[in-house]
Amino acid sequence: MPRIEMSTETSLSPDEVVAALTDFSERRPQIWPGIAPRYYEVFSVGETSAEVREGSTMGPLRIWARERYDWSTPGVVSWTVQESNFCKSGSYVKATITPRDDGGSRIDVEWERTAANPLYGVMFRMLVASKGKPLTDSMNKGLANYERMKA
């Protein structure tokens, strides 16, 4: 299972980072640039969990995953694949958010996905080779979008 560990920082507080990661409103695709509105569907949202489908278009590829989000542990948001066309069930992402002295946050992300077929296996190996740069860039864009939208 390809695994990437990456970190980023933001001026958002830990509570704001959790709020951004768990915003399952209609504006989620505007916050997170990797989510295409046509693939976004919310099945359920509870106090500390949600089940949603998210996806995107990458050239001719249409990727989607139905994922279960969990934020029952303070400072941790994880999402685990229930069903997907590009990765296997049980694949997951976990974000651990810790406060910085200046009020901002550090986000440590653990990304572990098993490809559903060889094509996605090649893509995952490229992500690993890049040390997750596209994933970090996407996280940074989403956090910046959230910060602008909350203002």
DSSP per position, 13-53 = -HHHHHHHHT--STTHHHHSTT--GGG-EEEEE-SSEEEEE
- Structural domains of the chain ordered from first start: 3-150 (3.30.530.20)
Residue 58 pLDDT: 81
Task: Tell me: pLDDT of 6 over 70.
Answer: yes
Beta bridge partners of residue 105, listed in sequence order: 10, 99
**Span 11-25, average pLDDT:** 97
Task: Tell me: pLDDT of 142 over 90.
Answer: yes
> What's the rounded Cα separation, in Å, for the pair 32 and 138?
7
Give the relative orientation of helices 14-21 and 133-150 as an angle to the nearest 10 degrees: 100
2: confidence class by pLDDT, cuts 50, 70, 90: confident
Beta bridge partners of residue 7, listed in sequence order: 108
- Over residues 46-103, the pLDDT tens digits come to 999 999 999 998 888 899 999 999 999 999 999 999 999 999 999 999 999 999 999 9
Residue 150 pLDDT: 82
Task: Tell me: pLDDT of 151 over 70.
Answer: no
**Span 6-14, average pLDDT:** 97
**Span 118-138, average pLDDT:** 90
User: What are the start-end ranges of the H helices in the chain?
Assistant: 14-21, 28-31, 118-129, 133-150
**Span 130-143, average pLDDT:** 94
Q: Model's pTM, two decimal places? A: 0.93
**Span 101-127, average pLDDT:** 93
